[in-house]
């Protein structure tokens, strides 16, 4: 079978562990400098070391984004940083500025060089250029169609990484400095204020509007992507919640495995699509994969991003002697609620919250209504740490 990789984002160590456990083959992270999420928590060098140890123990890879467009003042410390990443055992860096590519070559680093989507690569000659510099992988521009991806793969043979899920830029990534002009925040150095999602007007009408693209969602096209030679399937969202990461990675892991095993059918595709759309709480489309997106692939007005309350609890432990789960509450639930559990090794199953539930001190409670309170109740199915409990919304039987 082809070498296929599900690549997850992580903004901190907790998210990284969740991504690893829920089925990612590799995780991309940002250090505290030189990455395009300058205002995220990000990873210190010690965190990166921990991340590499954790991931490598599970036979998974860690990629570090070093993908800002550097000003002269940003170059101080870059060489030492790259040497340190190499020493720690990071598997690859993801870069867009040639200054990093050249430094990587001059330092003769062991870690691999991946070209970021910020480099806006859409043709085989551009890939050949990056190959000549030593790159082993290119993250294609999100504007690439199915035919364009296939052509590049066929012509170059390089490892191809494509985004499969998450937020999209209105622009070609890297080719936008709206943020610089509207907010003085440098988008290509990690300060993007997402100005394309702001509200605009024009002089010739009273209508107000945004230019926000709907999210990318490739659930229905994973098989085609595998067939045309995509190697790495990348999920966007280093600043997303653990529930989002767990859900998205869990779903795409299932889909990729089912494609490989030839067991994916329409019912499962629709079921997974419904789960993902509800998790992100946004509409999603395949954007450029099958042609140029039009008005239906954008939001213009009236998009209220009110998060749902589906994520009910994170399993902390399971007492096998007493068949008791101990979990940390994330949203309100009560006895009688129909929920489902899912986890890295736990096949999704439906469950009704029993009539008796307890708090941390074994007091019986009527509802679990305090954020992050510890809740216990009896459940015969064995659960493990990092399993999750969510509101039951969809059932595969609806889609059969």
In whole angstroms, what separates CA 127 from the centre of its chain?
A: 24
290 interacts with other proteins by CB under 8 A: no
198 interacts with other proteins by CB under 8 A: yes
Considering only the C-alpha atoms of the chain, give the largest distance between any 2 of them, rounded to a whole number of Å.
71
Binding mask 220-259 toward other proteins (x if CB under 8 A, else -) reads ----------------------------------------
Q: What would the DSSP string read from start to end of 81-146?
A: HHHHHHHHT--EEEE-SHHHHHHHHHHT-SSEEEE-GGG---SHHHHHHHHHTT-SEEE--TT--H
**Span 360-379, contacts to other proteins by CB under 8 A:** none
Which part of the chain contacts other proteins (CB under 8 A), choosing from 20-28, 62-70, 253-261, 392-400?
A: 62-70
349 interacts with other proteins by CB under 8 A: no
Cβ at position 12, least distance to other proteins in Å: 17
Go through 65-81 and write b for each residue having 16 or more CB atoms within 10 A of its CB, e for each that does not. bbbbbbeeeeeeebeeb
Hey, how many other C-beta atoms are within 10 angstroms of the C-beta on 5? 19
Rounded Cα–Cα distance for residues 128 and 124 (Å): 6
70 interacts with other proteins by CB under 8 A: yes
Cβ at position 218, least distance to other proteins in Å: 18
Tell me, by CB under 8 A, how many residues bind other proteins. Answer: 73
Which part of the chain contacts other proteins (CB under 8 A), choosing from 181-189, 235-243, 307-315, 371-379?
A: 181-189
Rounded Cα–Cα distance for residues 237 and 10 (Å): 7
Which residue number, 189 or 234, has a Cβ lying nearer to other proteins? 189
Q: Which of 50, 180, 241, 281 binds other proteins (CB under 8 A)?
A: 180
The contacts of residue 227 (CB under 8 Å, 6+ apart) are none
Cβ at position 353, least distance to other proteins in Å: 41
Which part of the chain contacts other proteins (CB under 8 A), choosing from 198-206, 252-260, 339-347, 372-380?
A: 198-206
Sign of CA dihedral 278, 24, 16, 112: negative
Which residue number, 128 or 136, has a Cβ lying nearer to other proteins? 128
Cβ at position 16, least distance to other proteins in Å: 22
Structure token pair of residue 361: 């001190």
């Amino acid at each position: 079978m082809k070498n296929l990789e599900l690549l997850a984002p992580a903004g901190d160590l907790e998210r990284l562990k969740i991504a690893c456990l829920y089925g990612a083959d590799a995780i991309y992270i940002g250090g505290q400098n030189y990455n395009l999420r300058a205002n995220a928590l990000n990873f210190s060098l010690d965190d990166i070391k921990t991340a590499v140890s954790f991931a490598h123990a599970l036979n998974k890879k860690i990629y570090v984004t070093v993908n800002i467009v550097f000003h002269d003042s940003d170059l101080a410390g870059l060489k030492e940083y790259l040497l340190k990443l190499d020493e720690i055992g990071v598997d690859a860096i993801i870069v867009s500025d040639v200054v990093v590519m050249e430094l990587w070559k001059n330092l003769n680093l062991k870690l691999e060089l991946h070209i970021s989507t910020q480099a806006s690569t859409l043709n085989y000659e551009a890939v050949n250029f990056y190959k000549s510099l030593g790159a082993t992988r290119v993250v294609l521009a999100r504007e690439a169609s199915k035919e364009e991806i296939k052509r590049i793969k066929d012509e170059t043979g390089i490892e191809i990484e494509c985004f499969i899920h998450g937020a999209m830029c209105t622009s070609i990534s890297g080719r936008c400095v709206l943020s610089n002009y509207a907010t003085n925040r440098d988008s290509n150095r990690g300060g993007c204020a997402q100005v394309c999602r702001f509200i605009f007007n024009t002089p010739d009408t009273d209508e107000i509007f945004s230019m926000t693209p709907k999210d990318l969602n490739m659930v229905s096209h994973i098989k085609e992507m595998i067939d045309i030679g995509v190697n790495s399937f990348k999920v966007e969202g280093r600043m997303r919640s653990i529930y989002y990461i767990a859900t998205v990675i869990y779903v795409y892991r299932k889909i990729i495995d089912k494609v490989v095993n030839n067991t994916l059918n329409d019912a499962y595709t629709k079921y997974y699509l419904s789960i993902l759309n509800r998790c992100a709480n946004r509409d999603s489309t395949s954007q450029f994969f099958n042609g140029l997106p039009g008005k239906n692939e954008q939001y213009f007005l009236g998009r209220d991003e009110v998060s749902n309350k589906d994520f009910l609890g994170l399993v902390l432990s399971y007492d096998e002697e007493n068949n008791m789960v101990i979990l940390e509450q994330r949203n309100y639930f009560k006895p009688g609620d129909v929920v489902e559990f899912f986890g890295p090794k736990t096949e999704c199953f439906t469950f009704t919250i029993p009539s008796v539930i307890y708090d941390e001190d074994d007091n019986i409670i009527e509802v679990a209504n305090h954020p992050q309170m510890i809740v216990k109740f009896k459940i015969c199915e064995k659960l493990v740490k990092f399993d999750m409990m969510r509101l039951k919304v969809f059932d595969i039987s609806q889609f059969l």
